[in-house]
A and B are shown apart, each in its own frame.
Chain A
């Protein structure tokens, strides 16, 4: 017996069965879905949500402890940028509040006072280091000729 007629019959039967199966399954799916239909709820303009974040005090404590280790190894090649990136979570705390959100008053006032204190006129330049800065006395005594 030739192969092609046999294969043709198999494929024909398979296709018909798939057709019936697909349509049957679809009807069954629609019947089941129909039972589970829910009513649409009207949308409020805004909703209350709960925000759960890690307690920053805990992290800050851990960070401080890390900084106090005298034998903290710094591998050669690690730049200041990568150190800043590693500490991103603790720093991000002082960046502006996320858009689209309003904190409840108590929480926000506490947070804001800390940020304001940190960014006050007296303190805002304290985070910069004096690395590479040459005092005017040293500069004058260096003996180098300066154009004025």
Chain B
């Protein structure tokens, strides 16, 4: 690689306008919401208190029956969800296995937004130069970094040696406007018909671009979601996340891809048709999950979204509990904000039934699923401590652990992943999922109350030992 090549510098003006709702008093809105919910809850309690003496139930038995009925319904939905996803993921893998390489290879711009990624931006670019594809350019967008990212990125600008030819690397230095606007700046600047958006801390596997671009031969495909894998493994927390990415996220994405309705194109790797992004109105910075928001906008415009398991992006997972909570807090609130933006379509299936279905699934997974999981665990703890039914919690755990083990085995076999990750499935639901669900529920409450939040920034480790990409040197 030849660093510090001769460059041209120019000052450009970027449009920073976005549609914003004006004249809305948010504080009043949230206060009104709390008041209405309080009144409804009070009414419900009064109705129960008034009608209970007319029934054969006592207050404690009412609580008991209600919890058992809720748990049975939860278990029923959980099993149906699991097996539906498994069957659909299996059908998708069958279909995918026989998919032929159609030779479609259009020019692609890779947009790399970076904010204080000085430690790892070089490795990300090296991985891009090693892509098994001929026809692409790299656009780095420095979103007002305060570390040495700008200097490092500037040293990379030029025509660097890729796998087959020289690859053009450009850089846009903009003030700190957020990831969504950084990606938009890159997309505006790009002249390509297809753009690949990724994270500055992610590294792409060599075959990623080649395997993802071919799906665009179908003009109905508006975007292709990639496969995100954890880069910094061999730690308890990151291994659990590696299993979660394989079992929880990728399997669901495979199932959704069977009906071409992937609900979130992951930030670390997403390939888009420019026309589709233009129709959807680019990335928006009014939510904290710009990837989920854009995906929903694409689905609303009737674009199909496919999942490509061989388009792999290795990304750094949080290593501490606090960082993990920070990440999941942002994801949950961002997804809820995105769902809220599309709430009209949530109750109106006549516009786009696929989109409505996707929104319901997302709402269920963001709101009902974590609440039910916490409620179930709380019930079993309560039953064990106060009534001595300690075996109930064991059977609950054993049932879910077997289900998780089977799913993990299937997913690891399909993705040819590390076999040692399977054993994490034993504690996955009882420890990891419970922590995540508590965080999700808290975030949901905060979103409901309209508490302000910041984007937050994860600390990077510079895990160069995790995946060494061979780079060409000039």
Contact = CB atoms under 8 A, between A and B. Distances in A.
B471 interface: no
Contact of B11 (A11, A45, A58, A104): A104
B145 interface: no
Contact of A11 (B17, B171, B174, B397): B397
A50 interface: yes
Contacts of A56: 8
B158 A54 contact: yes
Given A4-B391, A49-B11, A95-B191, A86 B165 contact: yes
Contact of B12 (A9, A55, A86, A102): A102
Given A4-B391, A54-B5, A38 B169 contact: no
Q: Interface SS of chain B: helix, strand, loop or mixed?
A: mixed
A5 B389 CA distance: 10
Contacts of B25: none
Contacts of A146: none
Contacts of A107: 8, 10
Contact of B157 (A7, A25, A54, A85): A54
A117 interface: no
Given A33-B456, A54-B169, A55-B6, A98 B135 contact: no
A29 B454 CA distance: 13
Interface in A36-58: 36-38, 43-58
A73 interface: no
A96 B190 CA distance: 11
A19 B434 contact: yes
B442 interface: yes
Given A8-B394, A32-B322, A52-B9, A21 B435 contact: yes
A88 B165 CA distance: 10
B173 interface: yes
Interface in A44-88: 44-59, 62, 82, 85-86, 88
A85 B190 contact: no
B384 A12 contact: yes
Interface string B394-412: 1001000000000000000
A53 B7 contact: yes
A50 B173 contact: yes
Contacts of A47: 13-14, 16, 174-175, 177
Q: Interface SS of chain A: helix, strand, loop or mixed?
A: helix
B393 A104 contact: no
Interface residues of A, number: 58
B397 to A, nearest CB: 5
Interface residues of B, number: 69
B434 A100 contact: no
A15 interface: yes
Interface string B23-53: 0000000000000000000000000000000
A111 to B, nearest CB: 9
Given A11-B430, A88-B135, A43 B454 contact: no
B185 interface: yes
Interface string B145-157: 0000000001001
Contacts of A96: 191
A22 B454 CA distance: 21
Interface in B358-407: 377-378, 380-381, 384, 390-391, 393-394, 397
Given A22-B434, A102-B13, A52 B157 contact: yes
A135 interface: no
A16 B390 CA distance: 13
The 7 closest A-B pairs by CB, nearest first: A100-B188, A49-B174, A55-B6, A8-B394, A22-B438, A52-B171, A50-B173
Interface of B: 5-18, 105, 107, 134-135, 137, 154, 157-159, 164-175, 177, 184-185, 188-191, 321-322, 325-326, 329, 377-378, 380-381, 384, 390-391, 393-394, 397, 427, 430-431, 434-435, 438-439, 442, 452-454, 456
Given A52-B171, A54-B159, A107-B10, 4 more contacts: A37-B454, A51-B12, A52-B8, A53-B8
